[in-house]
Structures are given as C-alpha cells and as structure tokens.
Amino acid sequence: MGTGGSSADDDSTGGVEFWRSPERAGWLTKQGEYIKTWRRRWFVLKQGRLFWFKDSGVTRASVPRGVIPVATCLTVKGAEDTLNRQFAFELSTPTETMYFIADSEKEKEEWINSIGRSIVQHSRSVTDAEVVDYDSGRAPVAAGSDK
C-alpha cells in the first residue's frame, strides 16, 4: 500500500473510525514498500488495523496512505541489528517485512507492545466448534452447554 495509498472506504478501513480515540498514535519513520526511502508518517493503531497518514491532523475526511490489518502479522520485534539503526523495529506478515524507526527506545517498546497486543487480540483463533475429536469423529461439545 506504499505508493498509491488507499481510499477511505469500508474495504480499506474496515469501517474503523481511525480519527477517534485510537489505541495508539504517533510519529514513526517507515521504509517505503517499493522505493526504499524513509518517510516520517503519523501512525494510528485502532481495532486491529495500523493506519498511516502524511500528517497528524487526522479527521473523518482523512485518507490513509496505507493500512495493515494486524491479524495478518506474524511478528513484531526490534530490528536495530538488522537495519543498524537505533530504535528500529519490524512487522512481518507471511508475504513481507516492514521496517519502522521510532523516536526513542521507550516509543519503540510501546509500539512493539501495542502492536503485539493487537496481533494477539485480532488473530483468528480456533474455536471449540472447529476442534475435531478424532476418537469420536465429531466436534466436542463446547464448555458450558447443556448437551
């Protein structure tokens, strides 16, 4: 989502009101997807989506420059050794790894913790109904049910 940006329709934003009460928001420097230059962007984490904008004046009319659904992310971790840059971290999906630089060690840790928490909350987990008991050949009864 680096170059063309995205439109602020329900497909790209997931219906998330990114302009109101974010879980976390702040400046990060992000490496471009195609042209590997570093650009400072305003990031907003809300309801399992990490949005970025050109400036911090985010309103209902703002169009995100990009969005990452955190449920698609596998890891978020420090990347100072990988990039040889202070306060760097990476966010990995099955298809790509994105790099970011925070303004301080504290901010880096806070972003890693916030994104990590969001990954856990929004990742699809196996529900009781999807667990197959191969001994009985049927799905087990969910806890708390009368059956």
Phi, psi torsion values for 72, nearest 5 degrees: -85, -5
The tokens for 88 are 């760097």
Structural domains in the chain, sorted by start = 24-123 (2.30.29.30)
Q: Which pTM value belongs to this model?
A: 0.76
- Give, for all 147 residues of the chain, the pLDDT tens digit: 333 333 344 566 778 899 999 999 999 999 988 888 999 999 999 999 999 999 999 999 999 999 999 999 999 999 999 999 999 999 999 999 999 999 999 999 999 999 999 999 987 654 444 555 566 555 545 554 444
Report which of 97, 90, 93, 94 is spatially closest to residue 111, judged by C-alpha positions.
90
